[in-house]
Every structure is written in structure tokens, then in C-alpha cells.
Amino acid sequence: MGVDHSLASVKRIQSMAVRAAGGNYVAHRQVGNLVYLSGQISMRDDGHLFCGQVGVDLSVSEGAQAARVCMENLFVALLAAVDGNWDRIVSCVRLTGYVNSQAPFADGPKVINGASDLVVEVLGPNGEHARSAVGVSALPRNAAVEVEAIFEVRA
């Protein structure tokens, strides 16, 4: 199943610019047919950052929106890794989502669904993936969410 280029989400992702890495690392690294994507925080392309702790400063719904933004940023990095060719993307293997929260917050999986839902929206059944959702006490720039991913690609 190919990517539906008429989807608003696909058009949006294609219009976004790749962000420079914020430190001594790369945004993506390919090993064989797997692309490992460095974590992306919940910063929109207009510079708005979803920040603070989910469950305190943001609702679960806002956290899910933040996770979706992370996934948009991951798709931008993935497209850079495959030279802009959506047809080289085979599947999403794994997502790991980090939610800025404090105990006893237990809705981290609901937050990371924002990222998971976008992957399945864009890739269909090939977007189904393994996943972890982890609550953490802080993230870079006080971001609400950070997500990292592994994708299978064609040569």
C-alpha cells in the first residue's frame, strides 16, 4: 500500500523544513534497511513549542496533539533519509514516546497515541508498530513530548 499524497497530513509534512540537530548527533542513521530517527520534540514548524507537564500544564488531548507534532517532525527527518521518496518507506518498526509528566500520571499511552495515529493514517497497515510510552520528569526545552522511531526502508 502506497502513501496517499492527497492526505492533508502528507501535504503538510512535505511542506515542512528539516530541523538541524540540536547537539552532537545526527537526525537519522541508516543501518541496513533500518533508519533510526533521533528523538523529535513537540515543536511545530512555526516555532510553537508544546511545553510543560502533561496532566499539569497540558491536558491529555493537548499532549496527544504534541505527540502528533513530534511524529510530523520525524516524518520530515525520515523523508530526508530517503531523499524525499515516500515509496522507499516500507514500514514503521517501533516508536518510543517520552511524556513530560509527574507521578501518578498514567495516561502516557493515550498521549503517544497522537504519534501512533499519524503513522497509521499516513502508512496504513504498514504503519502498525511496536511501541513504548514512558513518563519522564523533564525533556529538552521543557517540551511536553519527545518521540523517536525506527523505520524499515527500501534501498
Euclidean distance between CA atoms 73 and 126, whole angstroms = 19
Euclidean distance between CA atoms 137 and 155, whole angstroms = 39
- C-alpha angle with apex 92: 133 to 80, nearest 5 degrees? 110
Q: CA 125, 64, 86, 88 torsion: positive or negative?
A: negative
Q: What pLDDT, in 10s, does the model give residues 68-83?
A: 999 999 999 999 999 9
Task: Say what the pTM is.
Answer: 0.95
Q: What pLDDT, in 10s, does the model give residues 17-71?
A: 888 888 999 999 999 999 999 999 999 989 999 999 999 999 999 999 999 999 9
